[in-house]
């Protein structure tokens, strides 16, 4: 019998029990044997569950959305993806067995990640990968990866160097130079910040090369940091890293992995730091995923009692006293809506105003579709000019109308001057001083993995053999059989020291 929930119709099926409503069928994996299994999304008690049935290991359940209202609404914002110029694999066995990307994949790479090493100078209890300390990417491998990305994508918004800890690679600075191509707008690195904290000259080199730093910063105090990242004076190292990044003007994103009942009370502190510091351009929250060498064993955790995207959104609202509200966040429309939530913030003379408060929804979604960051191209200019016209004709119907108008007009004047045409890189730098971003990116683990999310994934690991691997598919199915990442365990780096 059909059931209506929030104007959407669902059907009662055997998967749904008393007090539950069936939403849709899915395909997941068994958390024990990792085989693909049938699944159903179930709405219960204002939350959304993924219920799976494995022929061998039986039934399992996991929480995939802490707010069913958010879950139901997010599908209204989905936009068609943009496929890459070239796929690497035909469809043979189906997703996720044909990753590379196969012709069935629905999204290009918004963010290609290159893991240049699996050596690390930390052993984080929450780490979702499998660092065996036995691989350093060669120069020829790295060059092949960069060439392959340009072949498949044409132009790339951002290339991210990761690991392990990428800054301990002996050729790290050379790799940054190799990645500097006309087709690549930005090069970013994901780092724990230990080398940045202890090596000011290295930080200067990052600034000189216009590198963007994604700094792992889960909290600002040692108890929480040690629980998530291990021993040592984590608090002191993070503060010194922030000081050096600010001193040398390195454009920075804070990356905060958030685990329930560990550091979820410090979400507002991260937002406050973002808004206070000009060198920090964006903030990325990652609800903890319980997989990999660390995460799979992090605390005895209950997959039915974890943080999800709407839980982070709610915490931001509550811990900033409504400065940034739940309704300011929307899914990234080109990706699967269960993977990303985000909001852009416009700097005004009295603080920041989220874009959804003054930009019409459809125009906002068009602006951010198929890209992870705002790109000040012709489409952006046209959208801003139309918004200025709307605000002017609206005559104060939107709160802070005049302040928003002033900021948008200033942005247009500086990024698109009438007397000369600026290069994209210059417009990017101007725009970064006027807009900040809060992202929420939910990685999947064995409990929450869904095949349809993989097909829309836009965060891909770029491999030397030319394949692009959707992040969570690689972590679940391929990382442990990647010949680069196998072999005997190497010797870990000493805490706070590096080879380079």
Last residue of a domain, one of 9, 37, 65: 65
73 inside domain = no
Token pair recorded at residue 74: 């997010």
Token pair recorded at residue 491: 């010797």
Last residue of a domain, one of 40, 65, 90: 65
74 inside domain = no
Rg (CA), the chain: 22
CATH of the domain at 139: 3.20.20.70
489 inside domain = yes
Residues making up the chain, counted from first to last = 500
Residues 326 and 365 in one domain: no
Q: To which residue do tokens 């929307």 refer?
A: 330
Residues 451 and 380 in one domain: no
Residues 352 and 403 in one domain: yes
- Residue 402 contacts by C-beta under 8 Å, 6 or more apart in sequence? 396
- Residue 93 contacts by C-beta under 8 Å, 6 or more apart in sequence? none
Token pair recorded at residue 342: 């985000």
Residues 312 and 247 in one domain: yes
Last residue of a domain, one of 436, 463, 489: 436
Alpha carbons 333 and 340: distance in angstroms, whole number: 9
Residues 46 and 107 in one domain: no
Give the Cα-Cα-Cα angle 297, 302, 307 (nearest 5 degrees). 95
Residues 14 and 39 in one domain: yes
395 inside domain = yes
Tens digits of pLDDT across the chain (500 residues): 344 444 444 344 555 566 899 999 999 999 999 999 999 999 999 999 999 999 999 999 999 999 999 999 887 777 677 777 788 888 898 899 888 888 888 888 888 999 999 999 999 999 999 888 999 999 999 999 999 999 988 989 899 999 999 999 999 999 999 999 999 989 999 999 999 999 999 999 999 999 999 999 999 899 999 999 988 889 999 999 999 999 999 999 999 999 999 999 999 999 999 999 999 999 999 999 999 988 988 987 899 999 999 999 999 999 999 999 999 998 877 788 899 999 999 999 889 999 888 887 777 776 665 455 666 677 777 777 777 777 666 545 566 778 888 888 888 888 888 888 888 778 888 888 888 999 999 999 999 999 999 998 989 999 999 999 999 999 999 998 998 887 777 766 644 443 33
Alpha helices in 23-126 (DSSP H): 68-74
pLDDT attached to residue 120 = 94
| pTM, entire model | 0.90
Alpha carbons 137 and 115: distance in angstroms, whole number: 8
Q: Which long-range contacts (CB under 8 A, 24 or more apart) does 487-492 make?
A: 487/132, 487/134, 488/132, 488/134, 489/132, 489/133, 489/134, 490/119, 490/132, 490/133, 490/134, 491/133, 492/119, 492/120, 492/121, 492/123, 492/133
Which residues face 184 on adjacent strands?
A: 156
Q: What secondary structure does DSSP assign to 336-387, as a single string?
A: -TTTEEEEEEEEETTEEEEGGGTS-HHHHHHHHTT-SS---SHHHHHHHHHH
Q: To which residue do tokens 């990305």 refer?
A: 149
Token pair recorded at residue 126: 């929450």
Counts for the chain of helices (H) and strands (E), in that order: 16, 18
Number of domains in the chain: 3
pLDDT attached to residue 464 = 94
Q: By residue range, what is the domain housing residue 140?
A: 82-338+442-500
Residues 151 and 258 in one domain: yes
Residues 209 and 284 in one domain: yes
Hey, how many other C-beta atoms are within 10 angstroms of the C-beta on 494?
8
Distances (CA, A) of 180 to 32, 92, 127, 177: 43, 36, 29, 5
Secondary structure class of 244 (helix, strand, coil): helix
Residues 195 and 316 in one domain: yes
Hey, how many other C-beta atoms are within 10 angstroms of the C-beta on 457?
27
Token pair recorded at residue 85: 């110029």
Residues 3 and 132 in one domain: no
Residues 331 and 349 in one domain: no
Residues 297 and 389 in one domain: no
């Amino acid at each position: 019998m059909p059931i209506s929930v929030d104007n959407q119709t669902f059907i009662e099926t055997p998967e749904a029990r008393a007090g539950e409503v069936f939403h849709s069928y899915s395909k997941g994996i068994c958390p024990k044997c990792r085989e693909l299994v049938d699944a159903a999304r179930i709405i219960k008690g204002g939350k959304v569950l993924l219920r799976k049935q494995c022929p061998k290991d039986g039934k399992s359940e996991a929480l995939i959305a802490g707010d069913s209202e958010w879950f139901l609404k997010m599908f209204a914002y989905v936009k068609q993806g943009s496929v890459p110029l070239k796929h690497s694999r035909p469809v043979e066995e189906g997703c996720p067995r044909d990753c590379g990307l196969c012709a069935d994949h629905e999204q290009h790479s918004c963010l290609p990640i290159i893991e240049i090493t699996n050596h690390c100078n930390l052993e984080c209890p929450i780490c979702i990968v499998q660092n065996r300390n036995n691989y350093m990417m060669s120069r020829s491998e790295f060059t092949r990866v960069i060439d392959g990305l340009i072949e498949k994508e044409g132009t790339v918004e951002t290339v991210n160097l990761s690991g392990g800890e990428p800054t301990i690679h002996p050729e790290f600075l050379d790799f940054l130079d190799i990645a500097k191509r006309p087709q690549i707008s930005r090069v970013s690195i994901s780092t724990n910040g230990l080398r940045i904290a202890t090596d000011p000259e290295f930080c200067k080199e990052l600034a000189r090369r216009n590198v963007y730093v994604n700094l792992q910063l889960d909290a600002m105090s040692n108890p929480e940091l040690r629980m998530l990242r291990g021993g040592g004076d984590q608090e002191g190292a993070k503060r010194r890293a922030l000081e050096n990044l600010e001193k040398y003007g390195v454009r920075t994103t804070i990356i905060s992995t958030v685990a329930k009942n560990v550091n979820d009370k410090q979400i507002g502190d991260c937002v406050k730091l973002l808004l206070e510091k000009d060198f920090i351009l964006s903030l990325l929250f990652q609800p903890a995923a319980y997989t990999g060498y660390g995460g799979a064993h992090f605390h005895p955790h209950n997959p039915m009692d974890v943080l999800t995207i709407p839980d982070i959104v709610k915490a931001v609202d509550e811990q900033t006293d409504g400065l940034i509200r739940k309704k300011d966040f929307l899914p990234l429309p080109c990706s699967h809506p269960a993977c990303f939530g985000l909001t852009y913030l416009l700097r005004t003379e009295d603080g920041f105003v989220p874009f959804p408060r003054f930009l019409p929804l459809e125009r906002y979604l068009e602006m951010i579709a198929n890209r992870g960051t705002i790109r000040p191209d012709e489409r952006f200019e046209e959208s801003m000019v139309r918004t200025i016209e709307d605000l002017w004709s609206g005559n104060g119907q939107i709160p802070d109308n005049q302040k928003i108008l002033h900021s948008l007009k200033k942005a247009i004047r500086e990024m698109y001057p009438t007397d000369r045409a600026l290069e994209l890189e210059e417009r990017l730098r101007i725009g970064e001083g006027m807009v900040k971003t809060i992202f929420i990116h939910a990685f999947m683990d064995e409990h929450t993995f869904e095949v349809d999310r993989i097909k829309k994934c836009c965060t891909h690991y770029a491999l030397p053999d030319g394949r692009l691997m959707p992040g969570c598919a690689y972590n679940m199915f391929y990382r442990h059989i990647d010949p680069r990442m196998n072999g005997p365990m190497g010797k870990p780096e000493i805490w706070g020291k590096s080879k380079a």
